[in-house]
Amino acid sequence: MYVVKSPLSDADLKIVSEALQGALVDLVDLSLVAKQVHWNVVGPRFRSVHLQLDEVVDVARAHSDTVAERASALGVSPDGRAVTVAASSGIGAVAEGWVKDADAVGTLVAALGAVITRMRERVAATGDADPVSQDLFIGITGDLEKHHWMFQAESV
C-alpha cells in the first residue's frame, strides 16, 4: 500500500529507500549499543565516558527520526522494529555485563566506524538518485565522525 507518492523514479526510489532503511537500522542500533555500554561502563573514567555515550545516543536518536521521516516523505514505510534492527545492523555484537571504560571506548570506536563506513557508501549511492537524501547522509556522517574522533582520542 502506498499512501504517499514519491517524486522519485522507481529506480531512484529503490536506491534511496534501501539507503534510508539501512541508515535507520544502523542508527537505531548505534543508540542501543551506546545506551547498553552507558549503563554498564565502570572504571576511573566512568563519568566522562558515561556522559559522552549519552551524547552519541542523543545524536543517533535524532538522526534516526530524521531518516525515518525522510523515508515516509518519499512514500517508504520505515522499519525500526527490533527484529529488523537485529537482522540487518552493521554493528557487531556487544558483550553483556560490566564494561571497563577503556573497553567501552573501544566498543564505540568500532561501532561508530562501522556505521560511518556504511553511511559513506550511502552518500555515494544516493548522489544521483536523490541529492536531498544524500545531503542528509552527509550531515549524519559528519556528526558521527566527530564522535568517532572524540572516542578515538580517548583511546590513546
Q: What local confidence, expressed as pLDDT, does residue 4 receive?
A: 85
Cell of 9: 523514479
Q: Kindly state the cell numbers that stand for 7.
A: 517524486
What are the grid coordinates assigned to 27, written together? 542508527
Place of cell 550531515: 139
Name the amino acid, one letter, at 58: D
pLDDT of residue 146: 98
CA atoms within 13 A on the CB side of 131: 1
Q: What is the pLDDT of residue 2?
A: 59
HSE, side-chain direction, 13 A CA sphere, residue 142:
6
Per-residue pLDDT of the chain in tens (156 residues, 90 and over written 9)? 557 889 999 999 999 999 999 999 999 999 999 999 999 999 999 999 999 999 999 999 999 999 999 999 999 999 999 999 999 999 999 989 999 999 999 999 999 999 999 999 999 999 999 999 999 999 999 999 999 999 999 887
Prediction pTM value? 0.95
